A and B are shown apart, each in its own frame.
Chain A
Amino acid sequence: MTTLSVPAQKITNSIDSAIPSSVPHEEEKFKMIAENVSIYYGSTMGVKNVTMKFPEKSVTALIGPSGCGKTTFLRCLNRMHDMTKNAKVEGKVMIDDIDLYDKSIDPIYHRRKVGMVFQKPNPFPTMSIYDNVTAGLKLNGVKDKRILDEIVEDTLKMAYLWDEVKNDLKKSAIELSGGQQQRLCIARALAIQPEVLLMDEPASALDPIATQKIEETITELKKDYTIIIVTHNMQQAVRVSDYTGFMYLGELIEFRETKKLFTDPKNELTAKYVQGQFG
């Protein structure tokens, strides 16, 4: 058991010495931009002044030790902190040139552009598989049965679940295994046809085979979606992501192309973390 206690001074130094990390890739088009985002829980600062740009149709991974704020940051990209009492978000989150935190914005409309998959599978317990996938559509007003059927088949195939459930779509969602439930949640998130997909450790509750399937899904989805994934699993970050951001104690320490971050980290802390010296 090694716990790392890096003095605050040292962190500050290492940040100063870091490559300007928010823009690893100037030439591309950005789907989402987080600018100077700070998140407070009461008086505790969970995320400190993070700036990140997410290129369109790419996978960005957020890594870092437990409690580093990566989930907190991910949730702010969808205004999920609106639901948390005492949580306060500062800064800007731009999606297609619209600031999600602008006072005049209705977050509901923009959340439909952003799908989210949570760490623990959370299918709606009283609904069938079919109803779970279509929940976001039906409750947002899509009624056409033909379209719903089409989307159900399509998204369940994308989530690699179709073959396992195509014969009992009316079955209750909570009768599925944990891995199946998580893939159902991915299908449910995809069903609202988002443009961005946020994934909070989507494979942490899954076995290696299901994990592999999810990773294949992510790679497949990259063609059409901008994906931001929080993961504890560095191999997973290497396998699926194009860009990786390393967070520590609420700060973004380094953000670069995944290959470069893992093979040639510019920051001492990043190097230690990706080499498994702490975490």
Chain B
Amino acid sequence: MSTTNEKRQEYRALFKNNVKKRLVVDKIVHIIIFAFVIIAIIPLASILVEVFKNGISAISYEFLTAIPGSIGSGEGGIGPAIQGTLIIIGLASLMGVPIGVMSGIFLAELGDNKLARNVRFFNDVFMEFPSIVLGIFAFLVIVLILGHFSVWAGAFALALIMFPIVARTTEESLKMVPITYREAGTALGLKKWVITFRIVISAAKSGMITGILLSVSRIGGETAPLIMTILGSSQFFSSMDVPMDALPLRIWRLSLLPYESSQLQGWGAALVLILVIIGINMAVRYHFANGNGIIMRFIKQGVSTKR
């Protein structure tokens, strides 16, 4: 209670009185932020535009379904590559997502000890590993031992790229769930794993799905580890133990060829890869958006209060 009225007047006089200038500064900051956003969008947009512009003319029913034609002929398609990409993404997700999600749960829910701190550290290091190194690793431990290129090896290499990303994003999403929900669950006499799996995860689902999709997008475009593991092929999938094609591999090969028709097909394959990734993203999001993600709830809540 030591502040007297005179002192208060004194303090008030210290405030800057330049409302007009501050409004201008506010505007300028807004413009600068907006300008940087535009700068960030330019490369992204130009990549998309370029790929669409060059790739769209290559796309036809035959292109999407047929096996590649003879080199430089401009005939045939990328059917095996599309099929291979879907197979390899699916297999890698089957391996990488459960491991990643479980590791994330471990780190978030039981992660307050030395072991977890080490796991978290190595996980972060692992996340930054060059993908070619993981490809070589898969080559050493699977391809060399089996003696032939293998779809398993490719999926394994991609799963290695996937799970640190999934683990980290899962951990972060789970940590965002307020402790009050855990307390409520505890007070209801629920076991810890029930709280984690039935309450916490359902509140964190949206963030976890974002993380999984992020990792799917990342592995969808990986080329280097696939060269070491599934090699590439011009035939449709026949067995796990022979080389298989994938879109990034096909793009890589087509773009190296000196024929204009091949390069056009390369653009087309790039466009297809982008569409496949966007398609997976949208399908998964649509599937989960109709129900229970916490973000969707908040959006719905926002909508319902506005009405």
Residues 281-307 (chain B) with a chain A CB within 8 angstroms: 292-294, 297-298, 300-301, 304
Residue interface bits B121-148, CB-to-A below 8 A is 1, else 0: 0000000000000000000000000000
- CB of A168, distance to nearest CB on chain B (Å): 11
Q: How far is A127 from B203 in the complex, measured between Cα atoms in Å?
A: 9
Would you call B180 an interface residue if the criterion is a C-beta within 8 Å of the partner chain's C-beta atoms? Answer: yes
A positions within 8 Å CB-CB of B: 1, 78, 80, 82-83, 85, 108-112, 114-116, 118, 120, 122-127, 135-136, 139-140, 172, 174-175, 185, 188-189, 192, 198
A-B contact count (CB 8 A): 87
Would you call B258 an interface residue if the criterion is a C-beta within 8 Å of the partner chain's C-beta atoms? Answer: no
Partner of B184, one of A108, A114, A185: A185
Partner of B190, one of A85, A114, A140: A140
With A83-B182, A83-B183 as contacts: A126 and B202 at CB distance below 8 Å:
yes
Would you call B39 an interface residue if the criterion is a C-beta within 8 Å of the partner chain's C-beta atoms? Answer: no
Q: Return chain A residues, CB-CB under 8 Å to B187.
A: 78, 80, 111, 114-116, 118, 189, 198
- Are the CB atoms of A192 and B188 closer together than 8 Å? yes
Q: How far is A214 from B6 in the complex, measured between Cα atoms in Å?
A: 47
Name the residue on B nearest A75 (C-beta).
Answer: B183
- CB of B294, distance to nearest CB on chain A (Å): 6
- CB of B200, distance to nearest CB on chain A (Å): 10
- CB of A273, distance to nearest CB on chain B (Å): 22
Interface size range on B against A? 20 to 34
Q: Return chain A residues, CB-CB under 8 Å to B203.
A: 124-126
- CB of B263, distance to nearest CB on chain A (Å): 49
Q: How far is A178 from B194 in the complex, measured between Cα atoms in Å?
A: 26
Partner of B292, one of A110, A116, A126, A175: A126
Q: Main secondary structure on chain B at its contact with chain A?
A: helix
- Are the CB atoms of A126 and B297 closer together than 8 Å? yes
- Are the CB atoms of B194 and A1 closer together than 8 Å? no
Name the residue on A nearest B201 (C-beta).
Answer: A126
- CB of A134, distance to nearest CB on chain B (Å): 11
Most B Cβ at <10 Å: residue of A109, A125, A140, A174: A125
Would you call B34 an interface residue if the criterion is a C-beta within 8 Å of the partner chain's C-beta atoms? Answer: no
Would you call B118 an interface residue if the criterion is a C-beta within 8 Å of the partner chain's C-beta atoms? Answer: no
- CB of B303, distance to nearest CB on chain A (Å): 10
- Are the CB atoms of B190 and A108 closer together than 8 Å? yes
Q: Return chain B residues, CB-CB under 8 Å to A185.
A: 184
Q: How far is A85 from B113 in the complex, measured between Cα atoms in Å?
A: 11
- CB of A99, distance to nearest CB on chain B (Å): 17
- CB of A110, distance to nearest CB on chain B (Å): 8
Partner of A118, one of B183, B191, B199, B304: B183
Q: Return chain B residues, CB-CB under 8 Å to A123.
A: 184
Partner of B188, one of A120, A175, A188: A188
Q: List 22 A-B contacts (CB under 8 A).
A: A78-B187, A83-B179, A83-B183, A108-B190, A109-B189, A110-B189, A112-B188, A116-B187, A124-B181, A126-B205, A126-B292, A126-B293, A126-B294, A135-B185, A140-B188, A172-B300, A172-B301, A175-B301, A175-B304, A185-B184, A188-B184, A192-B189
Q: How far is A175 from B293 in the complex, measured between Cα atoms in Å?
A: 15
Q: How far is A116 from B185 in the complex, measured between Cα atoms in Å?
A: 10
- Are the CB atoms of B190 and A124 closer together than 8 Å? no
- Are the CB atoms of A125 and B181 closer together than 8 Å? yes
Name the residue on B nearest A132 (C-beta).
Answer: B184
- CB of A237, distance to nearest CB on chain B (Å): 22
